[in-house]
Amino acid sequence: MRYAWGALRRRPGRSLLTALGVALASALVVLLLALSAGVETSSSTLAYGSGVDLLATSAASAGSILNGPLPPIPHAHALSTEIPTADPNAVVASPWLVSDLVFGNASLWSAANRSSVPAGWGYTGSGAVGWLPGDLGGIETPTLYNGSGFSAPGDPHYANGSFTGASTGEIVLDQTLAGVLHVTVGDRVWASPVAPPSDAALPGWYANATGFRVVGISGAFWLVPSAELAYLYLSELQQLVGGASPSTDYASLVLIHLRDPSHPGGDEARLAAAFPGLTITTLAEILGELQHVENVYRTFGTLIGAIGLVIAALFTTTVLQMSVDDRSRELALLRAVGHSRSAVGVEVLEEGLLLCGLGLAMGLPLAYAGAVAMNRFLLELVGGLPAGFSFVAFDAQVIGTGVTAVVLLGLLAAIVPAARAMRLPVAEELRAP
C-alpha cells in the first residue's frame, strides 16, 4: 500500500483529478440511493402509522386504485355500521367522498358584485373530502391548528338517511388552501363543483354556489396527494356533487381500522365475502402498488448512477494505464529483484482502490450536502406534505451500498492496468534507454 500511495503522490495533479471524478460519480450514486430510500421510507412510515389497515372501494374499481378516479360506492353512510357488524375486528369503517371543488372568498364576491375584479383575482380549484367526523377513531387525521373544528360528531344533514336535516355549513381548510384564499377561522367561503366561465359570470356563480363558514385550519394530510384540501361533512359534500339521496348516498372509498391488524388478510377475505359490491385492499397491497410506481423512477435513477460509475471507471482505468506505462521500467525492476507477477498486480490494484477511496472520502460529504439541499428544495417545491416527510434518507444502508459500488469500481478499473503490469517483459524494459 505504501508503494501505491507513493505512486499517487508523484503525480498529484492527475491523482486529484481522478479522485474528483470518482467523488462526483459516488456522490451521484449515493444521492440517488438516498432519494429513493427517503420517499419509500417516509411513505411506509406514514402509511403504517395512519391506522388505516384496509381500504374498501367499489367492485367496479378492479385493478390498481391509483389508476384515476374511483367509481362511487352507494349507501355509504350505512357501511360505517355494517362493516364492523360483519367483521368484529373492524373497529372503524369511515366512508369518504373525494372530489374537486371550486372556491371563492368574500373579497372576490364583493369585487364581482361591483363588477371590478382586479387583475390576478379569481376562483381557486382544490380537492375536497367529505367524511363523518365521529367515525374516525384510530385513523390519523390532519392536525387542527386553529379553530374548534366540526360542531357535531355525526352527520346532521344526513338525518338517518332522509337527507332532510339542517346543513351545518361548516368547513375545515388546510393551511395551504386557507393561505391561497386569504381566509381564517370564522370567514366565509363559497364552493361549487363547476367553475365560472368568466369574471362576468362570477355574480351568478356566487348565487348558485354554497356558502360555508371556516371552523378550522388544519395541517396537510398524508393520504390525499393534494397541497390544497378542504374537509366537509359527507352529506354536505354529497349535496354539492350529487349522491345526497337515500337511493345513492355516494362515497369514493371506506377506510377501515382494525382492532388487531396483525393478520389483515383474514379480515380482507371476510369482508370481501360479506360485501361483494366492494373491493377490499390491505395496506400492504396499496404500498405494493406505490412500490411499482417508485420502481420506475428508481430504475431511471439507477441507470443514471450506473452511467456515472461507468464513466468514472473508464477514467480511472485510463489514468492507471498511464501510470503503469510511466512506471514500466520501475515495475520491471521490481520483478527483477524478486517481486512476483501477482505482487506487482496487487500494487496496481491497491493504487486503484486508493484513488477510489480518496474519491469516496470527498464524495460522501458532497452527497450529504446535496441530499440536505435537495430535500429542502423539494419540500418547498411540493407543498402540503405532512410533518415528518423527507425526500431523502441518508442512512447506513444507503452509505453501505454507495461504498460497495465505489470499491467495485476501483477493482474493475484496476483489472486491465494490473494485467498489463503483470505481463510487462522484464528484460526488454530494463534494456530500454
78-123 pLDDT, tens digit each: 999 999 999 999 999 999 999 999 999 999 989 888 888 888 788 8
Is the predicted pLDDT of residue 180 greater than 60, yes or no? yes
Strands (E), 239-277: 253-258
- Least confident range from 30-34, 382-386, 426-430: namely 426-430
Dmax (CA) of the chain? 106
**Verdict on whether the full-model pTM lies above 0.85:** no
Can you give the pLDDT at residue 100?
Answer: 92
Confidence of residue 329 (pLDDT cuts 50, 70, 90): low
HSE (side-chain half, CA atoms, 13 Å) at 32? 23
pLDDT of residue 12: 64
What phi and psi values does residue 331 have, to the nearest 5 degrees? -65, -35
Contact 105, 181 (CB under 8 A): yes
pLDDT above 90 covers a percentage of the chain that reads 33
Q: What are 67-79's pLDDT values in tens digits?
A: 557 889 999 999 9
- For residue 272, name the pLDDT band (cuts at 50, 70, 90): very high
Here the contacts of 414-417 (C-beta below 8 Å, separation 24 or greater) are 414/316, 414/317, 414/320, 414/348, 414/349, 414/351, 414/352, 414/353, 416/317, 416/321, 417/317, 417/320, 417/321, 417/323, 417/324, 417/348, 417/352
The one-letter amino acid code at 216 reads G
Dihedral pair phi/psi, residue 230, rounded to 5°: -120, 150
Q: Which of 6-10, 286-290, 318-322 shows the lowest mean pLDDT across its residues?
A: 6-10
In whole angstroms, what is the distance from residue 82 CA to residue 254 CA?
A: 12
Higher pLDDT, 321 or 405: 405
CB 353 within 8 A of CB 412: no
The answer to whether 351 touches 414, Cβ cutoff 8 Å, is yes
